[in-house]
Amino acid sequence: MELKNNRYFVFTVILSILSIVGIVLLFQIIKNKNSKVDQIVQEAPVVTVSPTISPTVEILPEATTSSKVASSSSASAKKITPTPTATPIAKLTPTLKPTAVPTIKLTPTPKPTLIPTPTTAPVSKNTSLTFSNQTDTFSVNYLATRKEYTDKEISGNRYTFTNPSGNFAVHVGLNNKWAWVYPDRSFNSNFTISGLPTSRYDINTQTIVDFQANSKNYTIQCIHNGNSALKSECEDFIKSFKIL
């Protein structure tokens, strides 16, 4: 009986101790919660509301006319300095002078004057005839297949020996004029006429020979269009030319 009572006593003491420990832990938990709440409250931002201030509107008196004029005149008195702009200077590239292509302006051949038909026998086509002119002091041989016509041109006189395949002509320039413009004209003795130096120009379609005599400028022109027979005839025509 006494042993049973001792057991009850021990159990009672243990329960009492556990109760005290539980109460202490409960108070500690409650204290920790309260401290956290206080911390949150302290950290919360404090919003302060300042009273609204109504703006004061100040009405200024209108400016007088004289003040407006003064302000406008002062504004116009400001000098406006234009900003200079640089004008680019174009570099001019020299243009090469093109090589002049010789051209002779041919005036229309006048209608021939009717010549009475000779009573003698017809002349052979291969017969060579001689044309001479005392005014322009020259003579030249040409085939009978050609007809000779004399006319005027800007530079002076022209003597044309016509043929449907290609005309031959003698141009006589007066007053230091030439029948055609050619800036590279130069005279040498590589080819001569009546012992005079000439300036010869040959292209596929024609041959031109220039020379000077008796204060006149002579130009012999053969239009052969590359025909070998006409080229040969042209050489004979040029070689037969003589200054009287």
Cα 120 to chain centroid distance, Å, stands at: 70
Interatomic CA distance for residues 62 and 76, integer angstroms: 22
Listed in sequence order, the residues at least 6 apart from 202 whose beta carbon sits closer than 8 Å to its beta carbon are 208
Distance spanning both ends of the chain, measured CA to CA: 190
What are the residue ranges of helices labelled H in the chain?
2-43, 65-76, 228-239
Q: Which residue has the higher pLDDT, 37 or 28?
A: 28
CATH number assigned to the domain with residue range 128-243, chosen from the 4 options 3.30.540.10, 3.40.1000.10, 3.40.50.2020, 3.90.870.40: 3.40.1000.10
Q: How confident is the model at residue 3 (pLDDT cuts 50, 70, 90)?
A: low
For 190-210, what is each residue's pLDDT tens digit?
999 999 999 999 999 999 999
Q: Supply the pTM of this predicted model.
A: 0.52
- Determine the pLDDT at residue 124: 64
Tokens (6 digits) for 189: 């003795």
Interatomic CA distance for residues 211 and 240, integer angstroms: 15
Tokens (6 digits) for 5: 């009572």
For 137-180, what is each residue's pLDDT tens digit?
999 999 999 999 999 999 999 999 999 999 999 999 999 999 99
CA-closest candidate to residue 217, choices 161, 157, 130: 157
Place of tokens 């931002």: 45
Domain ranges (residues) in the chain: 128-243
